[in-house]
């Protein structure tokens, strides 16, 4: 299992915008470099990308949750 963590503080979003589908869902096949969510801080958006390939096991935070650097965001089962 690989845990993807937040590189910075901000608000986590699973979707690129209101009414849009999520970047990824639990159970999806994930590729290296695939965007899994975004973190917004002061109207600046940073993409959270996977550094491993595998299956998205779970999101550790909910849509709109505050995150801090090092907080677990996504768990990916490698393979």
DSSP string, 57-79: EEESS-TT-EE-TT-EEEEEEE-
Place of tokens 């970047």: 23
pLDDT per residue as tens digits for the range 16-68: 998 999 999 999 999 999 999 999 999 999 999 999 999 999 999 999 999 99
The pTM of this model reads 0.92
pLDDT at 42: 95
Going from the N-terminus, what domains does the chain have, and what CATH number goes with each?
A: 2-78 (2.40.50.100)
pLDDT per residue as tens digits for the range 1-20: 999 999 999 999 999 998 99
């Amino acid at each position: 299992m690989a845990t993807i963590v937040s590189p910075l503080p901000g608000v986590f979003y699973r979707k690129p915008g209101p009414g849009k589908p999520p970047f990824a869902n639990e159970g999806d096949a994930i590729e290296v470099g695939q965007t899994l969510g975004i973190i917004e801080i002061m109207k600046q958006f940073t993409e959270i990308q996977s550094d491993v390939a595998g299956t998205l096991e779970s999101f550790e935070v909910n849509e709109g949750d505050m995150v801090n650097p090092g907080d677990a965001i996504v768990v990916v089962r490698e393979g």
